[in-house]
Structure 1
Amino acid sequence: MCGIVAVIGKGVDAELVQQLSKRMSHRGPDESDLHITEKGHFLSHERLSIVDLQTGKQPIQGTNSAWMVHNGEIYNHKKLRDTVLKKHTFRTTSDSEVIVHLYEEYGYEFCDMLDGIFAFVVIDGDDFMAGRDPLGVKPLYYGIDSHGAVYFASEMKAIADQCKSFAAFPPGHYYSPKTGFVKYYQPQWEDAAKAVEPLDLKAIRETLTEAVRKRLMSDVPIGVLLSGGLDSSLTSAIASRLMTEAGSPKLHSFSIGLDGNAPDVVAARAVAEYLGTEHHEIYFSVEEGIEILDTLIWHLETYDVTSIRASTPMYFLSKAITEKGIKVVLSGEGADEIFGGYLYFRNAPSVADFQKETIERVQKLATADLLRADKSTMAHGLEARVPFLDKAFLNLAIKIRPEEKQPATYGGVEKYILRKAFDTPEKPYLPDSVLWRQKEQFSDGVGYNWIDALIEYGTAQVTDEQLAKAADLFPHNTPATKEAYYYRTIFHKHFPQASAAKTVRKWIPKWQENQDPSGRANKAHVKADTNIATLKATL
């Protein structure tokens, strides 16, 4: 939806804040504005207009002295206006405005009332608070400069060179000077012992359908990212069905690959034909992907190998989508974490380990798939929405008995219960060839040659001597392969601060010998290459 910057403190001027905000102009190409509060603090906003195109400009003032900036979407804003905020007078019809009014009504204790994705800052006199959505779908960073001023920003690049220290704002928390960090999101599913609920296929189907319905809220056209895998195909099928029922225009779907024969492109084409979407296929070459690595890592603000591999096609796809006038897309992130869909989950030593790993993967999404989904799309002013991470769906799905999610329970099929929930022969959502297709990592599915060529290229840029001394140059999260070392050098060029390196967490599969994040590193993959990145790394 946008990029936000807030600075609370002295010794900062308006021109500097505007410059910092403009580093994120890609996040909000439609409008930009800066507000200086009565006490001299700053709120800046780069807007991508999605809801309330006419009056939704930010920063937004509350009833009195409070002002706010927000990045995200609040899906239950109308319900909040009509119930707990019915006595309040609103200045706009924007979904964002409910945040500042909830602050006026409840103080700091309101974040759990929001159903949506958000990163926001409210300033009221010298008091302020910041909050981030439960799982960190929307990014937020915070820091402090040498004069004690506090900074918040949607992306690290806006504040990294201004702050003596900074970090990623923890998902599911709010912060105020009076309370410090408070974990407001404390769902039952975080306790692995609560995963005792019986399987209810109808509830899975209905709750996910409602999650998609919420995320169709928009005053601009919506599309779907369609890889042809189970997760994106399901969200596409549900959205297509809901939009048809509502008499909405035909859904636009988008897929990407190295060519027309890439696994994802072929599968997505079949889904699009089945659903009757307005389908668009985008292609990119290995050479084009390598060429944009520097720019991509600047946008992503990570050196995690799998995030970079998967973000490259997503970056090209997002550019093509916005060029067609689409501002919002549905995406399938989260399903593999919730249901144990990654192939390495097959190797979990016990049911308890399986369940614990699903919970930890969901909790860490903000540093992996959600970071990729936000920053590779918002690099082109495109907002990605993720139905699988709806609060109600999480509460239902993660608490199902873990035995029901394990592939061994159902003949080795991963995510069997999700597939079965939408296996409705009387009115099918998807063709069987897609509904029962094996899990494919996005970076693999665009064409296996993409990762192979990327590993080979990254390896060729780094000498044995450089890799041997990696710990001296990069003591935190020391890269273990030449490909990882190469990405790290690019990241370090853009973000040399020690604080920057510490914001990154590496995505590594468990319970398998080869810890390369490619799905093909697992022997269960139909195109397994268990030596991937090991033999190639020695070239």
Structure 2
Amino acid sequence: IRHRGPDWSGCHVVKNNIFCHERLAIVGVESGAQPLVSEDGNYVLCVNGEIYNHKHLRKQLKKPHQFKTNSDCEVIMHMYDEMGTDLVNHLDGMFSFVLLDVKHNRIIAARDPIGITTLYYGWNSKMPEAVYFSSELKALNEECDKILAFPPGHLYDSETKETTRWFNPTWWDEHKIPTNPADLKALRESLEKAVHKRLMAEVPYGVLLSGGLDSSLIASIAVREAQKIANGTATEDDQFDESGPKSWPGVHSFSIGLPGSPDLLAAREVAKFLGTIHHELTFTIQEALDAVSDVIYHLETYDVTTIRASTPMYLLSRKIKALGVKMVLSGEGSDEVFGGYLYFHQAPDAAAFHTECVTRVKNLHTADCLRANKSTMAWGLEARVPFLDKEFLEVAMNVTPEEKLHKKDQGRAEKYIIRKAFDTSDDPEAKPYLPDNILWRQKEQFSDGVGYSWIDTLKAVSENKVSAEELAQAGSRWSKDTPDTKEAYMYRVMFEQWFPQPACTASVVRWIPRADWGCPSDPSGRAQKNHDQAYD
């Protein structure tokens, strides 16, 4: 997994524990090499991720502690020293970590609330007492005969050998329907704060810009917040690290698509409006097809939707890293939080709409978060996702679904409330966040927006590669997740070439369209019957 951390390789062995780490240096660049070992040798720590409130947490420590680095992650082991496993409830960030308490030979492993960073754990039946952890499946598949995705918002404790959920937000029960009216000011301010805290970096950074609502909003806020910080006009907040804009003036934006694709045209318009330093990558169908097998190797999934959307993102990430950028902001999560996918139009009622939103947010680690993390980290690039900020989710997930529903007769597009929260048309003195045609642009899934012929070609290629007889016999070859299309069959074969061990499929989850809502079997947004309907 060296692709995830090309800046440093570290290894530490103590008692019967081996810690290895491949580092991508973004904060504490000069001093933060891992594994981290406490000054007294009592704790060893490996972390993948970012702790945005690390400065605040250092100040909250009650005992004097000797910090060896400027890394945002080191505070984790000092917090464990004071409060044990309760430390996870105080972390604001995206993270997967494994910590060793040397004195008690105790292992603690934890993953962030939504699963923005990846984590797997596995076992070998010949050594049942051993537990293996890794950021990716490919480090475990030849050693373990049982491998699972470590669940988001959970903590493993070797003392009990149990994995328990520590993340318990107010919105977690999908059957508890909220009744709070939308607070547009709270939505706007909490998302602005989410972007602000994610500008923590000692290296060049940027934003992924598809030209759709989500990425455009993140880009717009990033430009505003970066300007405030760089100019010294930001509200003083010692809780968060503002190193990025202070070190790297100007916000870079990045987009990808086939020549003339909807995303490229929209992204170009947004970049010009915001004044970002814009970089545009066009790709050919053949370049994307050639990359699919490698994409599956990095994604470690055979899910059709994820592979379609990840391939352009994988190609773009390579270009971004070549430009010297190590961190990007991205717009994942908004469609799940606000019911933005076009199939949500088919929700039978508000309660079903909300239940689906919560379910999709809970499963983001199997799809969009997995894509955002692994497509970028394949090239040593880190993606941060403000829409999945803990505080923002507390606001957005507790809004009554009645206000999230698409209502064409009332002029309410999908994701109406987040659009309205950033609509300044009522205030002639206010500077607009986005052009109106972008703020109110209909949803395009990333795999559609980069160019419609991309998906059409994938279907055509699989049609030629997979025979009708092979598809008919798929059930005898794979009893779990039996492919139901030739495209799915093609991906499953590629996955098996990289990961032939039976244990590898246990961590894969497929996106299943809501057939009970009348949705087509093809997960593409363009397949939804309302894709071509314009809003009045």
Partners of 1:85 and 1:102 within 8 A in 2 = no
Q: Deviation at 1:195?
A: 1.3
Query: Equivalent residue for 2:242?
Result: none
Are positions 1:525 and 2:531 aligned together?
A: yes
Query: Equivalent residue for 2:495?
Result: 491
Partners of 2:404 and 2:414 within 8 A in 1 = yes
The one of 98, 111, 134 aligned to 1:132: 111
Partners of 2:177 and 2:354 within 8 A in 1 = no
Query: Equivalent residue for 2:301?
Result: 302
Give the partner amino acid of 2:119.
L
Q: In structure 2, how many angstroms separate the alpha carbons of the residues matched to 1:103 and 1:525? A: 50
Q: Deviation at 1:527?
A: 7.6
Give the partner amino acid of 2:348.
P
Q: What do residues 34-64 of structure 1 show as CA deviations (whole Å, max 9, x unaligned)?
A: 0001x13100010000001111000111243
- TM-score when normalising by structure 2: 0.92
Q: In structure 2, how many angstroms separate the alpha carbons of the residues matched to 1:398 and 1:124? A: 36
Partners of 1:520 and 1:527 within 8 A in 2 = no
Q: Residue 289 of structure 2 aligns to a residue in which SS?
A: helix
Are positions 1:454 and 2:458 aligned together?
A: yes
Q: Which moved more, 1:100-109 or 1:347-356?
A: 100-109
The one of 144, 150, 153 aligned to 2:131: 150
Partners of 2:153 and 2:165 within 8 A in 1 = yes
Give the partner amino acid of 1:129.
I
Query: Equivalent residue for 2:141?
Result: 160
Q: Deviation at 1:499?
A: 2.1
Partners of 1:256 and 1:265 within 8 A in 2 = yes
Are positions 1:112 and 2:89 aligned together?
A: yes
Q: In structure 1, how many angstroms separate the alpha carbons of the residues matched to 2:441 and 2:120? A: 38
* Highest RCO, 1 vs 2 (Cα 8 Å, sep ≥ 6): 2
Q: Which moved more, 1:123-132 or 1:404-413?
A: 404-413
Q: In structure 1, how many angstroms separate the alpha carbons of the residues matched to 2:442 and 2:20? A: 45
Are positions 1:56 and 2:32 aligned together?
A: yes
Q: In structure 2, how many angstroms separate the alpha carbons of the residues matched to 1:293 and 1:196? A: 44
Q: Residue 440 of structure 1 aligns to a residue in which SS?
A: coil
Q: Deviation at 1:211?
A: 0.2
Q: In structure 2, how many angstroms separate the alpha carbons of the residues matched to 1:312 and 1:139? A: 18
Runs of 4+ off more than 6 Å: none
Are positions 1:216 and 2:205 aligned together?
A: no
**1:321-332 correspondence runs (5 A):** 321-332=320-331
Query: Equivalent residue for 1:20?
Result: none
Q: What do residues 491-512 of structure 1 show as CA deviations (whole Å, max 9, x unaligned)?
A: 0111122221121111123223
Task: Flag structure 1 segments of 5+ consecutive residues without an equivalent.
Answer: 1-23, 529-539
Query: Equivalent residue for 1:181?
Result: 163
RMSD over aligned Cα atoms = 1.3
- TM-score when normalising by structure 1: 0.92
Q: Residue 246 of structure 1 aligns to a residue in which SS?
A: helix
Q: Could you tell me the percent identity over the aligned residues? A: 54
Partners of 1:345 and 1:354 within 8 A in 2 = yes
Q: Residue 96 of structure 1 aligns to a residue in which SS?
A: coil
Q: Residue 387 of structure 2 aligns to a residue in which SS?
A: helix
Query: Equivalent residue for 1:291?
Result: 290
Q: Residue 190 of structure 1 aligns to a residue in which SS?
A: coil
Q: In structure 2, how many angstroms separate the alpha carbons of the residues matched to 1:499 and 1:367? A: 17
Partners of 1:188 and 1:194 within 8 A in 2 = no
Query: Equivalent residue for 1:256?
Result: 256
Partners of 2:343 and 2:519 within 8 A in 1 = no
Q: Deviation at 1:408?
A: 1.6
Query: Equivalent residue for 2:337?
Result: 338
* Shift in alpha-carbon separation, 1:430–1:86, aligned structure 2, 3 A: farther
Q: In structure 1, how many angstroms separate the alpha carbons of the residues matched to 2:503 and 2:518? A: 31
Q: Residue 365 of structure 2 aligns to a residue in which SS?
A: helix
Are positions 1:479 and 2:483 aligned together?
A: yes
Give the partner amino acid of 2:524.
S
Q: Deviation at 1:411?
A: 2.7
Q: What do residues 393-438 of structure 1 show as CA deviations (whole Å, max 9, x unaligned)?
A: 0010010000000002743510011000000132100000100000
Would you say how many aligned residue pairs link Structure 1 and Structure 2?
503
Q: What do residues 370-391 of structure 1 show as CA deviations (whole Å, max 9, x unaligned)?
A: 0000000000000000000000
Partners of 1:74 and 1:117 within 8 A in 2 = yes
Task: Flag structure 2 segments of 5+ consecutive residues without an equivalent.
Answer: 231-244
Q: What do residues 241-291 of structure 1 show as CA deviations (whole Å, max 9, x unaligned)?
A: 1111222411000000011x1000000000000000000110111111111
Q: What do residues 294-347 of structure 1 show as CA deviations (whole Å, max 9, x unaligned)?
A: 111001100000100000100010000011111000000000000000000010
Partners of 1:419 and 1:435 within 8 A in 2 = yes
Query: Equivalent residue for 1:243?
Result: 226
Partners of 1:85 and 1:101 within 8 A in 2 = no
Q: What do residues 63-83 of structure 1 show as CA deviations (whole Å, max 9, x unaligned)?
A: 431100000000010000001
The one of 56, 64, 70 aligned to 1:79: 56
Give the partner amino acid of 1:374.
N
Partners of 2:177 and 2:351 within 8 A in 1 = no
Partners of 1:171 and 1:366 within 8 A in 2 = yes
Q: In structure 1, how many angstroms separate the alpha carbons of the residues matched to 2:326 and 2:508? A: 28
Partners of 2:111 and 2:119 within 8 A in 1 = yes
Q: In structure 2, how many angstroms separate the alpha carbons of the residues matched to 1:439 and 1:276? A: 23
The one of 196, 213, 218 aligned to 1:230: 213
Partners of 1:226 and 1:232 within 8 A in 2 = yes
Q: In structure 2, how many angstroms separate the alpha carbons of the residues matched to 1:89 and 1:458? A: 58
Give the partner amino acid of 1:206.
E
Q: Which moved more, 1:431-440 or 1:504-513?
A: 504-513
Query: Equivalent residue for 1:35?
Result: 12
Q: In structure 2, how many angstroms separate the alpha carbons of the residues matched to 1:483 and 1:130? A: 37
Give the partner amino acid of 1:485.
Y
Are positions 1:196 and 2:179 aligned together?
A: yes
Q: Deviation at 1:191?
A: 2.3
* Shift in alpha-carbon separation, 1:518–1:89, aligned structure 2, 3 A: same
Partners of 2:212 and 2:267 within 8 A in 1 = yes
Q: Residue 529 of structure 2 aligns to a residue in which SS?
A: coil
